[in-house]
Amino acid sequence: SQQGEEDPQALSIQEGENATMNCSYKTSINNLQWYRQNSGRGLVHLILIRSNEREKHSGRLRVTLDTSKKSSSLLITASRAADTASYFCATDAGSGGGADGLTFGKGTHLIIQP
C-alpha cells in the first residue's frame, strides 16, 4: 500500500512563483526523501530529511518534516520552466537501514508556465 500521499495531485504556477507540495504518511519513519521525475525518465533524488530533523535546505529547495503530524512539505522557490516534472515523496520506515527499499507516494505533477 502507498505510505505517502502527495497533495496536490497537480499544480500549475507561473515561472518565478514558489511551488509548495505536501506529503502525508502513515507510520513512523527513519527518513523521508523527495525525488523528481521528468516525463519518461527515471527518478532523481532531491533531498533527504531524517526523522530527528525539522527543516533542510538545498539550493532553491526547502523541506520541512513534522513527525507529530506525519507530514512533510517541499518548497521550490523562484520556479523555472525546467522545474516542470512530477515530484514524489518516499519514506524509509523499515529496519534494514534503507536496504529494504522505500515506499513512494503517488506524486505531484508540477507545471511551470513561462
Partner 1 sequence: NAGVTQTPKFQVLKTGQSMTLQCAQDMNHNSMYWYRQDPGMGLRLIYYSASEGTTDKGEVPNGYNVSRLNKREFSLRLESAAPSQTSVYFCASSEANPSRGGGYEQYFGPGTRLTVT
65 counts as binding partner 1 under rule CB under 8 A: no
87 counts as binding partner 1 under rule CB under 8 A: no
Residues 35-64 that bind partner 1 (CB under 8 A): 40-45, 48, 50
Question: Secondary structure of the chain in the HEC alphabet?
Answer: CCCCEEECCEEEEECCCCEEEEEECCCCCCEEEEEEECCCCCEEEEEEEECCCCEEEECCEEEEEECCCCEEEEEECCCCHHHCEEEEEEEECCCCCCCCCCEECCCEEEEEEC
- Chosen residue from 79, 107, 110, 112 binding partner 1 by CB under 8 A: 107
CB closer to partner 1 out of 15 and 48: 48
Minimum separation from the CB atom of position 36 to partner 1 (A): 11
